[in-house]
Structure formats: structure tokens, C-alpha cells
Structure 1
Amino acid sequence: MKAFERRGVAVLTFDEKHSNRVRDKILYRLGMGHHRLSPLPRHLRQVTDQIVEACCTDVLLVGVEVIDRPFVERLVKQGIRVHFYTWDGTANKDRFLTYLDLLDSKATFDPNDSRDHRMAYIPLFAEALFDERLIGMAPARDQDIGFCGTVHSSRAGIIAALMSIDRPRPLRLGLMLYYHSRRLFGIKALVSRSARRVAPLISDTPFSKSAIADMFVRSRYILDVPHPGQSGMTARTFETLLAGARLLTLNASAEALLPSSFANRVTVIGDIADLASIDFDAVGPLPPLTHEQTYFLSLDRFLDQLSAMMRLPA
């Protein structure tokens, strides 16, 4: 939101959740935040009151999970324009479909949801700290493949398969694996061989963006694993390319969604076993990104598209 302020737009920010404790986040994710005794409805009414008292003209819901139709209805009745952007597909979070008809404008990172629900398509972006020109080139890209992400759904199996690839020269891997509770992940490991394999590498402390950027600039390839059922390009896609690394992705739509100028930087795979065909020792350096490529990957392009959607003053 600070980026909007730098453009001269006054911004207030509110947290949709009444609590960000791990226990409460788990309840929200399980869809248990709207029960009769939940503090969430009262919290959302308080947020509504604060928005109205501040005389806000527009509300942008970004990546929200627990916002409900009554909340949006209260804002609309006050003459406030409500906008929406999501980086989750309906296969993962679909509550917003219950109030989609009330919105003044709406956009998504997922091209399939854009088509199916008549939403604007606005791809994600990378923050400037991932720009290899700003963080400096490493002396050598000494890691073949890097990966950073939350080890949810099928990712434990994918990472375990990556660690188990049999090659003449073992792959040099940079792995930054996160899960919100090592104890809960340990429970998963009791019934999953893949989870047991990666469990020693799990951190329950989020990695800093600067540490992630440093790992990206040391890697020849970054592995991108989207959520099942989603076709939109993840933030990792943009961060990888801005950091000057090659993208190794399980997103079959990635090549079609990116400008053609990125073609030599993107490899789509259907399975981790496909890595056997890549000669990592023959991978040479990439040329610097052009101005057009950098702009496409940037926060500036993202904000330009959001501002146009919301009809904000230039």
C-alpha cells in the first residue's frame, strides 16, 4: 500500500482477520471462522465503521480469505466503491464468489477464473529487491536448482522426488522450506514417507525476502510449484525472472502467459523426472533483462493495471 501512497493516493489498511495466531489461522483455513460464537462478525463490523468514519471512497480487497457478503453490502450501502484482487484461484479459495456481483471492479491472477467469472486478468509481480542489478550478481551461480515455499498439499512429494533424483553428478540444491508448525508437520511425517524425507529441512520461521533473493541470484534454475488447479503465474515466477535465474515450472500455462521474449528463460516440466534431460553443466549465463521485460515483471506494471481497473486518478 505504500506504493499507492508514493503515487499520491491516501491509504488506510485493515486486517480482515480478528487474530493472526496460528490456531486462529488454521480455523479460518478450515472455514470455521464464521460460526455463531466467532469474534469475526463483530470485528468486520468494527472495520466497516472505521472505513465509513474515515470517509473512504474506495475499498480494495486484496488476497482476502474471510470477507463475507454482509461486509461488502454494508460498504456498498454507504456509497463506497468496493474493488477486489486475488492471487488465489477458486479451486483454493472461492468465498469471494458469494459477493462478486456487488463489486465495482474485480481482478484475478488466474486466467481461467478471469474467463469463467468475468474478472480482469492482472498477473502478479516481483518486488524490486529481487532485481539482480540491485542485489548484485553472485560470483557464480553455484546452485543448480533453488526452491522456496510452503510445503503444503503435494509439495512434500515433489521436493522429496527432487532430492532423490539419480544423476551422474548430484544436483546442487538450495531449499528454503516453510511450514507454520514443525509439530504439525511432524504429525504429517508419521504417515508420509515424503514428509519424513523433508521434515529435517522444515522451518516454522518465515524466510526474509532478502534471504530468498540472495538464494535466487545464486541459482541457475528456480523450481515453481503452483497450487493444484490454478493456472495463474505465481509470485515466484516473477521473482525468479527478475533475479536473472531460469524458471523451472510445473505450470503448463506459463509459456503462453509470459511474453515471448522470456521463452529462453522458461522450462515447463510435467514431472520432476523430466529434469533428467537437462544438462545443468551446459547452462550458460543469460543476457540482462530489457526495459520492457523488467517493467512487465515489476510492481509498477501491477499498480498501473490496478489503478486503471479502479479508475484512480493518474
Structure 2
Amino acid sequence: MTQRKLLIVAPDVFSILNSVVSFFESRGFDVVFLDDRNSQGFIRNVILRFLRSFYFALFSREIDSRIEKIADDFDKIVIINGEGYDIHHLLEILKKGEQVSFYTWDSVNNKKYLKHFFEVLGDKMHFIGTFDKIDSEKFNICYKPLFSAKIDKPASSTRYQYSFIGTMHSERLKFIYDFLRDGKQDSTQVYVALYCKNIATYLFHMMMNLGYLRAYVSLVKIGFLPLSDFEKIMSASEIVLDYSHPKQAGLTHRCVTALRNGKKVLTNNPNLANSKTVDLNGREYFLITPTETEKAEFSIENWASKF
């Protein structure tokens, strides 16, 4: 029997991609990966983020060449986010396989190009979905939250009352600063680590947070925490702190992982049931207690079922 072939076009993000690849390989697929970003260079990605049309004027031929080298006999293609491609690139990728699906863990409010993708690709896809509930309702596409695996080796006891591990963006540092300044928790029972991908990103966010410079230097690091350490700290925490991007309504991977593994979550995101309002230095946040339904909903089996 010929092995089925799957092309995944996605950003190479933390453990999420590894989980997706491993899942489909366990279902008998020969998986080929194409990086959604085309390049990990800081300057190039800044141009892509803020000067999208100029980016494709510079690099479209290079991207075309990469796509031409891809085989055209895939049984399935899964495109996640697609930020590093314009619509004509995605239409070319569509020709490489029989059953093509598109999914995003971003929002139109944060990435305007997604609106055009939804409008053009909607009737050409086997499946199109988003983690953002507002976009799902507005553009009549499937709402599908992110997924998480169960932690293999959870901690045997609680070491931290609260923990937060995540990348640096928007007002995350302000959220953590307000939380620590609140003074209602023992600082020895709180674990906080914010990460920047590289030194350029670190310096950029430092300039954006000069009003919190002491907290920035203390809490923000360069690089990433290994997945095993992330899981160890989360499983040893009573409550996981979460700050969603203000332009997104979707649940973060951190939030989903915490709920999937039975942890309470304190978040700025109001888009979950079973939440209790909490005031933190004059700002409204939501304390969420996980349910058995959510634990099942956030499995990778459920997430991948439509693809």
C-alpha cells in the first residue's frame, strides 16, 4: 500500500508544529514541511509584518521558486497562517494536492491579510478554520480552538501558586508588573519568564517598555524555555497567568495547555465559560476553572478531525 503524503505549510513555532507532524505521522502520513515564514531573519520578518506589499515585491520570485520545487502529488495539504505568502502563492500551493485545508491561530484584527484569504480561499478549500471566535462568526468559517497534549510527567506537588511563561508582546509586561505589584501573593510562590526570540527583538521591546525598565531587565530573557521545563513549571502551578494579544479573541496555546491539564487560568480573555471576574489594580481579568468538556475539546485529535 502506498504511503499517503501530507504537506504542512506552517510557522515553525515552539512545540506546536512538532505535535502536528507527529500526529499525522502516527496516522500513516509521510509529512513534508514548508516554513510559513520563508526566513527567520529579523529584518526580513519586520518588513513582512509592516510592509507586506514591499516584501512580496522584493521576494516573490524567490518564493515562487521554492513552491515550484514542491512535488504536486500530495493527498492532503494543511496551511497554517500562511503569513509568508500572498494569495497567488497560496493558489499555486493548492495545485500541489487533492484535499487542502487552511487554519489560522491569528485574527483579522491583528493580521489584515487574513480577510482577503478568507474571501478568496473560502470556496476552494476542503476546510477553513480559525481560533478566533469573532472572526468565525463574522466570516462564517469554522471556529476551532488550538490544541494541546497532556503533560507526560506532571509534577507530584504544587510549587507555585501562579506562573507565567510566554513571548514578549503588546502589554504583557504591564500585566505581569501589575500582578506582582498587587501584593496579594507571596512573590516566592510566583514564577515569571518572558522571552524574546533574539537580541534585536529584545532591544525593540525594551525601547517600547522604558517605563518598566527595571521589571524588563529582571523578567525578560532571550531565547526560549525548553518544552520539558515549560511543562514541569506549569504542572507544578496552581494557577496559570495568561495575557492574550488585545487584537485577538482566540485562546492562547498556554491557556489551552493549562486547561487541558486541569489548571485554573487567570486571563484578560473573556471568551471562555466558567469564568469569575477578578479586579487587578483597576483592570478586569477572568479566573477560569477547567471542565471535563474543555479537556476533551482541546485535544489534537479534535483539532485535526476536520483536516
- On whether the aligned pair clears a TM of 0.5, the verdict is yes
Is 1:118 the equivalent of 2:140? yes
Alignment-derived partner of residue 168 in structure 2:
151
Residue 90 of structure 2, aligned match among 68, 72, 77: 72
Q: Max radius of gyration: which structure?
A: 1
Alignment-derived partner of residue 295 in structure 1:
296
Counterparts of 2:153 and 2:42, CA distance in 1: 33
**TM-score normalised per structure 2:** 0.79
Aligned CA distance change for structure 1 residues 83 and 229 (closer, same or farther; 3 Å): same
**Are the equivalent residues in 2 in contact too, given 1:76–1:82 (CA < 8 A)?**
yes
Q: For 1:74-223, list aligned pairs within 5 A.
A: 74-76=92-94, 80-100=98-118, 101-102=120-121, 103-104=124-125, 105-128=127-150, 130=151, 134-139=152-157, 141-167=158-184, 169-170=186-187, 172-182=189-199, 184-186=201-203, 188-189=205-206, 192-223=210-241
Please give the root-mean-square deviation of Cα atoms over the aligned residues, in Å: 3.0
**Are the equivalent residues in 2 in contact too, given 1:220–1:246 (CA < 8 A)?**
yes
Alignment-derived partner of residue 44 in structure 1:
63
Residue aligned with 1:38, SS:
helix
Counterparts of 1:80 and 1:46, CA distance in 2: 21
Residue aligned with 1:253, SS:
coil
Counterparts of 1:213 and 1:79, CA distance in 2: 36
**Are the equivalent residues in 2 in contact too, given 1:165–1:273 (CA < 8 A)?**
no
How far is the alpha carbon of 1:275 from its aligned partner?
9.4
Aligned CA distance change for structure 1 residues 135 and 42 (closer, same or farther; 3 Å): same
Residue aligned with 2:78, SS:
strand
How far is the alpha carbon of 1:210 from its aligned partner?
1.0
Question: Which structure carries more strand by proportion?
Answer: 2
How far is the alpha carbon of 1:98 from its aligned partner?
2.0
Aligned CA distance change for structure 1 residues 38 and 195 (closer, same or farther; 3 Å): farther
Could you tell me which runs of 5 or more consecutive residues in structure 2 were left unpaired when the two chains were aligned.
Answer: 1-20
Counterparts of 1:146 and 1:168, CA distance in 2: 12
**Residues 223-262 of structure 1: CA deviation (Å, up to 9, x unaligned):** 111111322221112211233321111111122xxxxxxx
Alignment-derived partner of residue 15 in structure 1:
35
**Are the equivalent residues in 2 in contact too, given 1:16–1:44 (CA < 8 A)?**
no
**Residues 51-108 of structure 1: CA deviation (Å, up to 9, x unaligned):** 3x34124422113212211112334567755321001111112313223223313100
Counterparts of 1:226 and 1:188, CA distance in 2: 17
How far is the alpha carbon of 1:30 from its aligned partner?
2.3
Counterparts of 1:272 and 1:127, CA distance in 2: 34
How far is the alpha carbon of 1:213 from its aligned partner?
0.6
Residue 59 of structure 1, aligned match among 53, 68, 77: 77
Residue aligned with 1:178, SS:
strand
Counterparts of 1:82 and 1:155, CA distance in 2: 35
| Residue identity in the other structure for 1:6 | S
**Are the equivalent residues in 2 in contact too, given 1:62–1:86 (CA < 8 A)?**
yes
| Residue identity in the other structure for 1:66 | G
Residue aligned with 2:297, SS:
helix
Counterparts of 1:96 and 1:245, CA distance in 2: 32
| Residue identity in the other structure for 1:204 | I
**Residues 123-161 of structure 1: CA deviation (Å, up to 9, x unaligned):** 111123x2xxx313333x121110011121111111111
Q: Percent identity?
A: 21
Counterparts of 1:36 and 1:118, CA distance in 2: 29
Is 1:28 the equivalent of 2:29? no
**Are the equivalent residues in 2 in contact too, given 1:158–1:272 (CA < 8 A)?**
no
**Are the equivalent residues in 1 in contact too, given 2:259–2:294 (CA < 8 A)?**
no
